[in-house]
Each structure stands twice: as C-alpha cells, then as structure tokens.
C-alpha cells in the first residue's frame, strides 16, 4: 500500500480518512472488528459541557439511499470523555479531533475552554448545526453574522486549531464558509446532515424528523466542498454519503484535504478500512505519490 499520510496543522496523520462524528461510538465499540489506529484521526461523538441524554426513540429511520437520525446528541459530557475514553486513544497512539457543541454561546465557549492542547489532539470541530435555544431554536450555523460571532468567541478561548462544521441548510454555504474563516476558523468540515422527515404510510404519521445522511447527501456535500475550497484558503474535510473509495477520491478531487465516513459504517462495518486501502490503491494504480497530487484537481466543464 502506498503512502497516503497527510500533514494537518503540523501533525502527521497516517491517512486522510476519519470517521464522521457520532458514527463510531466512543471508538472502543469497533475494537472487535478493527481498531481506531486504522484511522487518520478519530473524531469524537459530539461532546457538550454537561452530559446530555438525547431524544426518545425512534431515533433512526431508513430511506432508500440513506437514513434519518434524531439521536439528539446523547453524550457523556466533555469531562467524562477525557477521563474515561481519551487515555484509550493515547494508548493506541491515535490522534483525535474533538467534535463539540452547545445550545447557548456560553456552552460552546465553556466546552472549548475545557479542552487543553495535547499532542494527540489535532483539532476541535465545532458543530454549528445545533439549535440555539436563546435565538428561538434557529441553528447557530444558518446566518453568516451568527457564525462569525460564535467562531470568533470560541477561537478566543482556545489554542487548538478549530474546524467549523457547517450545516447544508443555508441559502449560500460559501457565505457561511467565508464568515467562519474571517472569524478565524482554521478549517471547515463540510457537511452535516440535512434536515428531513421520515413518514410511515401505514400509521399515517411522521415518526421522526431529523438529519438525513448517507448516499443521498453526497452530491450536496460535493458541491459544498468544491465551491468552498475555491472560496477559502483553509483545509476542508469532506463528509456526506461517502460509501466507497471512488466516492472518497471524488471528494479529494473536489478539494477536500481529508474525508470522514459516517453512515457507510452502519451498512458495512469494514467500510473505513476498505476505503483507506482503496484510496491508496487508486493512487498507486494511477502513478500518484501522495494525496496532494489529486487534491482539488477537478475541472468544471
């Protein structure tokens, strides 16, 4: 297998393939099949300053080419994560990206402040799709002004590189991307799930509203990655509907520096190791020495 390591904020990562936040438990659950050391970096489940219970069931709904989830960000809280789970990643010499969120500005800031720099932390990833309870439930990531504001405040309390993870449910994602970068975001993660509804015809009801993920999301994510990578100078992590190595390659060519795999793991628990190998094989077979050789090479026709 060829060398597919990348450098991100001065850290060497084995490969540019990560899990998407919230889709690989706390990392330990995959151990019976393969280990987190397979990943370029492990992305944590979304963490909040206090533990959060999440939503009642049903929490998942199947669509033909994807799924809808309404987990509601259940997590053990940032303190417990660092006490109980972080040592496992250190032992496994696996760097992490800490995904976090809040329902108020203060919660975002408190959470970011809590996380101290460590050689095994590559970056923070702030989830901007959360409902802002003070602004009546509109998500933090929907308006450029709000994005600028919250990113700037979080950036002021942390020395760790900061990724802003954007929601696709906006008028113009490039405007949001620019606002995040002007406020100091060191990178962007594109994209989070798309708001959607499940429908049960037999029961004539909507059993859940939540975020749509999986293959249906891929073209939307690719467009966001491509357009934003032309508009901002920071590294972009592409995520949304990547199911196999060719999907992954398309994200690199569209301008992503790294990618994340979410829903694919539920369909095939070995999707991540297969994609890592597939990306390396593609580079070898096409005479490329490193991922950067194909980064952003997509042409518009």
Q: If you search the block for the tokens 């628990």, which residue do you land on?
A: 269
Nearer to ligand FMN, 23 or 132 (CB): 23
Secondary structure (DSSP) of 136-156: TT-BTTSSHHHHHHHHHHHHH
Instruction: Examine residue 168 and tell whether it contacts ligand FMN (CB under 6 A).
Output: no
Least spacing, CB of residue 247 vs ligand FMN, in Å = 9
Instruction: Examine residue 217 and tell whether it contacts ligand FMN (CB under 6 A).
Output: yes
Instruction: Examine residue 250 and tell whether it contacts other proteins (CB under 8 A).
Output: no
Nearer to ligand FMN, 62 or 293 (CB): 62
- 136-175 positions binding other proteins, by CB under 8 A: none
- Residue in 45, 92, 142, 257 binding ligand FMN, rule: CB under 6 A: 45
Cis peptide, bond prior to residue 191, ω within 30 of zero: yes
Partner from other proteins, ligand FMN, none binding residue 20, C-beta < 5-8 Å depending on class: ligand FMN
Active site residue 130: yes
Query: Which residue, among 112, 114, 113, 106, has the nearest Cα to 140 in the 3D structure?
Result: 106
Instruction: Examine residue 184 and tell whether it contacts other proteins (CB under 8 A).
Output: no
Nearer to ligand FMN, 63 or 143 (CB): 63
Structure tokens at 134: 């003070």
Size of the site for other proteins (CB under 8 A): 36
Q: How far apart are CA 147 and CA 241, in angstroms?
A: 25
Partner from other proteins, ligand FMN, none binding residue 165, C-beta < 5-8 Å depending on class: ligand FMN
Q: How far apart are CA 280 and CA 63, in angstroms?
A: 31
Q: How far apart are CA 119 and CA 109, in angstroms?
A: 21
For residues 185 and 193, the answer to whether their CB atoms sit within 8 Å is no
Coil, helix or strand for 104?
Answer: coil
Could you give the residue numbers annotated as active site?
130
Residues that bind other proteins (CB under 8 A): 22-25, 29-30, 32-33, 45, 51, 53-54, 56-67, 69, 71, 74, 76, 214, 263, 265-270
């Amino acid at each position: 297998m060829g060398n597919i390591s990348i450098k991100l904020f001065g850290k060497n990562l084995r490969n540019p393939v990560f899990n998407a936040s919230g889709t690989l438990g706390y990392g330990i659950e995959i151990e019976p099949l393969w280990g987190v050391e397979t990943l370029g970096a492990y992305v944590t489940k979304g963490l909040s300053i206090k533990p959060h219970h999440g939503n009642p069931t049903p929490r998942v709904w199947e669509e033909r080419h994807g799924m809808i989830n309404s987990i509601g960000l259940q997590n053990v809280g940032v303190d417990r994560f660092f006490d109980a789970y972080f040592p496992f990643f250190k032992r496994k010499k696996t760097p992490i990206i800490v995904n976090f969120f809040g329902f108020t500005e203060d919660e975002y800031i408190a959470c970011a402040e809590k996380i101290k720099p460590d050689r095994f932390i590559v970056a923070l990833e702030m989830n901007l799709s959360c409902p802002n309870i003070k602004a009546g439930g509109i998500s933090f990531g929907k308006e450029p002004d709000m994005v600028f504001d919250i990113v700037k405040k979080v950036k002021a309390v942390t020395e760790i590189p900061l990724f802003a993870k954007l929601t696709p449910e906006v008028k113009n994602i490039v405007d949001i991307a620019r606002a995040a970068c002007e406020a100091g975001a060191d990178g962007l993660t594109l994209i989070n799930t798309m708001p959607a509804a499940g429908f049960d015809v037999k029961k004539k009801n909507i059993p859940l509203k939540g975020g749509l993920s999986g293959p249906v999301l891929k073209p939307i994510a690719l467009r966001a990655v491509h357009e934003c990578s032309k508009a901002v100078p920071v590294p972009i992590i592409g995520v949304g509907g990547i199911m196999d190595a060719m999907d992954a390659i398309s994200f690199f060519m569209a301008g992503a520096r790294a990618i994340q795999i979410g829903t694919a793991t539920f369909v095939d628990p070995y999707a991540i190791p297969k994609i890592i190998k597939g990306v390396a094989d593609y580079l070898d077979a096409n005479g490329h020495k490193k991922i950067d050789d194909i980064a952003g090479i997509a042409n518009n026709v």
